[in-house]
Structure 1
Amino acid sequence: MDLHQHPEPSGAETRTAACLADALQAEGYTVTRGIGGHGVVGVLTNGEGPRVYLRAELDALPVRERTGLPYAADGPHMHACGHDLHIAAALGAATLLARARPQWRGSVVVVGQPAEEILTGARAMLADGLYDRFGRPDAVLAQHTAPLLGGMVAHGHGQPVLAGSVSLDVTLHGRGGHAGAPQLTVDPVLAAAAVVMRLQGIVARESAPAEQTTVTVGSLHAGTHSNVVPESAALGITVRALTPAALDRAVAAVERIVGAEATASGCPREPEITMVSRSPVTLPDEKLTAAIRDAHREALGAERVGAWPPSMATEDFGLYGDAGREIHGCPGVPLGYWMVGVVGPRQWAATASAGGTAERFAALPANHSPEFAPHLPLALPSAATAMTVATLTALGARR
């Protein structure tokens, strides 16, 4: 509750990192702070054996909370994606493991990662020598909140769990002037509008029907007054896909369309296109996933373990595996990743009349919503149990 009440945005997770670091230290972990920014690493070695990383994110979102909770955040930021729950669950697992050392051998490495919401934190920690300094992992584990009934977990089956993404900042340059003499100007707003409309054809006409791809213009800014043609227009564009090849093709199409529309509009300068972030597809290791799924069924009950279809949400966790091997130099690191339900039983029952599964999910406050509020009595214990059981499985302690 304390972490939820005091959220910190990406790159400013000072207090959150300190809370995690202090709690790990109190349980006997050797803690290092300031990895790749505000990253925290806690290591507990318990004899010879596998080295398993547990990763949780530290940052919150620029969303003003509207949950009405007694411990709601009061300010411009909110844990609207459940990162505070991830931290609490990882800390719960770390505590249980520290107090049950006779049951396992090896090393547990807890990673508190900053800046996940802007998709830069994993890269920064790895570039800061995470694996060189704390050892090559035999497995890296993470979980994420999802609009499922609290107490449930869900796994992917041999396919991506989350999409890869590329975020682009685009600036179109025009020639400003008076709205009463448009012939003397080059209107970047018109060019930007043409780009927005043309981009819709990438998914409709340049991607195979079976390919899951999205292209989103999330922001468009231009001008300061209604009777002034501005000098430039800026767009924020995000592309997502479930394969690296599809992602690359869609990004190339965005760049081609931006350039072509700038030329068609007679823009006096080439457009500026900057890649702000890139995240890989999240594809968990099949063998590790099968072992963790079986362990979850045993610990939680088979009825509480479901399947998770590929989602167009994205994050940077894939960089801890093969997608980030150029950064960390450790090919073949298996990843374990699953979803944990956070919806309370009353809220879940209230959506029963919403129709099918898609309609039911649409009726629930989703991740990034100002009304997103995990049901702690169900969600936190099951998430802590799921992470503990998964860690013991990766350590080879469950047979």
Structure 2
Amino acid sequence: MTTLAAVRPSRLRELYEDFHRWPEVAFQERRTTAVIADELRGRGLQVSTSDTVTGLVATLENGPGPVVGLRADIDALPIAEQTGVPYASTTGAMHACGHDVHITSLIGTIDRLLAVRDRWSGTVVAIFQPAEEVGSGARAQLASGIFDDHPTPHIVLGQHASGALAPGTVGSRPAVLQAAADTWQITLRGDGGHAAGPHKTVDLVVLAASMILRLQTIVSREVPPNETAVVSVGTIHAGTVSNILPDELTFTVNARSFTEEVRSLIERSVRRIVVAEAQASGLQAEPEFEHTVHFPLNVNDVAAFETVRSALETEFGEHGFTVVDPVTGSEDFGEYGTSFGVPSVYWYFGTGLAEEVASRVPVPNGHSPWYAPDPDVAIDVGVRAFTSVALAALNSVVPPVRQNGGGR
């Protein structure tokens, strides 16, 4: 089954607790970036940071061969932690999605690759990405020029901690793994008025309620029944006191889709419904739309997926790997493969839960203030998964002949 010894997590556990205790939200990960950079420079890697964006890129060279990109996201969420673990957040933000595990697992993977240099040849490009949670961190990092002094990967690999998979198991699927995601902020403007005289104005709250209810028919009545999609309204803001009808209201619509056709259908439908409801209510000002979030589909390259699957099944056993269903959660990991023009593959690994939250009902999962993985299980599985797949890629990927390459 396993080809790698169990990870001894003492130093990695210390790093994990440090990252967990000092989380930083999207594009604010300055301390996190500095700690990672110090750790990797101390291991002899070439490290590049950017003046324009947080995060870093580091290269480990070990002779001729393929260039394998390994990516970990580093940002936290604006959530107040409720886990009660002794290393709980001190910043008011929280690593409620396991990114602290991702960072630690990639550093641990670098350690393992350094320890088994005789088992591989090539180059590893470690990508520590900012701002995954807002969907624009990968694009910002790619545009910053931070990759200019590093070789362009021939394949990019990534992983995510999961509370849904059994501890010590892994899972993924070929082709589409995660949905595309879009968020639109919609602003309605009117004259406002007295709550005692609603007939003298357009009540934006009632109008928004009609829009929100009608938006729920997009999935049930417009998306084909054999397709999967989600449309949710996550925020609504208006008004100051109960006896004033507001003159401005904003709400946000979040959509998930698995094809570009459905994605376009949803956007057209959102705009049509909002505009039509506004006209039906007699609103004079046109509704304003701002497309604030845009996550791409996360698509696993089918051929490269088989290499990843084989490595994970060798490491965790045939029954330790699950072919999962497509996930409606979203990731911007795919931006790297698209930008470099190379295959990318992404998978999940089961972490279990920390003792402090293990008995909580319902079971805490990502983006919950009570989410806390079992650190020792998470680090062990994360390092073994990343290392086994990295070694498989380093020993099997054939570098393509490039006419024009990015980086050096």
What's the TM-score, normalizing by structure 2?
0.89
Match of 1:336 in 2: 345
> Which of 308, 320, 338 does residue 292 from structure 1 map onto?
308
Separation in structure 2 between the aligned mates of residue 382 and residue 235 of structure 1, nearest angstrom: 40
Deviations 1:43-75 (CA, angstroms, capped at 9, x unpaired): 112222111111111110011111111111134
1:51-90 correspondence to structure 2 within 5 Å: 51-90=67-106
SS of match in other structure, 1:61 = coil
> Which of 151, 154, 168 does residue 135 from structure 1 map onto?
151
Give 1:309's aligned amino acid.
Answer: D
**How many corresponding residue pairs?**
381
Match of 2:329 in 1: 313
Match of 2:250 in 1: 234
The answer to whether residue 394 in structure 2 is matched with residue 390 in structure 1 is: no
Deviations 1:105-158 (CA, angstroms, capped at 9, x unpaired): 1110111111111111001011223554423211101100112222111111x3
Separation in structure 1 between the aligned mates of residue 66 and residue 357 of structure 2, nearest angstrom: 39
- The CA deviation at 1:365 is 0.6
Deviations 1:149-176 (CA, angstroms, capped at 9, x unpaired): 22111111x3421100111111011111
Separation in structure 2 between the aligned mates of residue 345 and residue 125 of structure 1, nearest angstrom: 32
1:319–1:191 CA distance, 2 compared to 1 (3 A): same
Separation in structure 2 between the aligned mates of residue 379 and residue 114 of structure 1, nearest angstrom: 21
Separation in structure 1 between the aligned mates of residue 144 and residue 397 of structure 2, nearest angstrom: 33
Deviations 1:206-243 (CA, angstroms, capped at 9, x unpaired): 01112110001000011101111111110011110111
Match of 2:25 in 1: 9
SS of match in other structure, 2:176 = coil
- Identity %, equivalent residues: 39
> Which of 183, 186, 190 does residue 170 from structure 1 map onto?
186
Give 2:386's aligned amino acid.
Answer: M
Separation in structure 1 between the aligned mates of residue 97 and residue 66 of structure 2, nearest angstrom: 31
Match of 2:5 in 1: none
Give 1:5's aligned amino acid.
Answer: R
Give 1:380's aligned amino acid.
Answer: I
Separation in structure 2 between the aligned mates of residue 166 and residue 194 of structure 1, nearest angstrom: 21
- The CA deviation at 1:5 is 0.7
Contact 1:175-1:268 within 8 A present in 2 as well:
no
Match of 1:266 in 2: 282
Match of 1:377 in 2: 376
Q: Which has the higher contact order (CA 8 A, sep 6+)?
A: 2
Separation in structure 2 between the aligned mates of residue 153 and residue 122 of structure 1, nearest angstrom: 24
- Which consecutive residues of structure 2, in runs of 5 or more, have no partner in the other structure? 1-16, 399-408
Deviations 1:26-58 (CA, angstroms, capped at 9, x unpaired): 111100112751020101122221111111111
Give 1:61's aligned amino acid.
Answer: L
Separation in structure 1 between the aligned mates of residue 119 and residue 27 of structure 2, nearest angstrom: 37
Give 1:196's aligned amino acid.
Answer: I
- The CA deviation at 1:276 is 0.5
Separation in structure 1 between the aligned mates of residue 81 and residue 357 of structure 2, nearest angstrom: 21
The answer to whether residue 211 in structure 2 is matched with residue 199 in structure 1 is: no
Match of 1:102 in 2: 118
- The CA deviation at 1:11 is 1.2
Separation in structure 2 between the aligned mates of residue 308 and residue 36 of structure 1, nearest angstrom: 37
Give 2:108's aligned amino acid.
Answer: G
The answer to whether residue 226 in structure 2 is matched with residue 210 in structure 1 is: yes
Deviations 1:151-206 (CA, angstroms, capped at 9, x unpaired): 111111x3421100111111011111112222221221121111101100000000
1:162–1:124 CA distance, 2 compared to 1 (3 A): same
Match of 1:367 in 2: 366
Match of 1:358 in 2: none
Contact 1:149-1:348 within 8 A present in 2 as well:
no
Match of 2:141 in 1: 125
Match of 1:301 in 2: 317
1:387–1:192 CA distance, 2 compared to 1 (3 A): same
Separation in structure 2 between the aligned mates of residue 96 and residue 68 of structure 1, nearest angstrom: 32
Separation in structure 1 between the aligned mates of residue 152 and residue 126 of structure 2, nearest angstrom: 13
> Which of 8, 14, 18 does residue 34 from structure 2 map onto?
18
What's the TM-score, normalizing by structure 1?
0.91
1:98–1:350 CA distance, 2 compared to 1 (3 A): same
- Which consecutive residues of structure 1, in runs of 5 or more, have no partner in the other structure? 323-327, 352-361
CA-atom RMSD, angstroms? 2.1
1:345–1:274 CA distance, 2 compared to 1 (3 A): closer
SS of match in other structure, 2:300 = coil
1:170–1:398 CA distance, 2 compared to 1 (3 A): closer
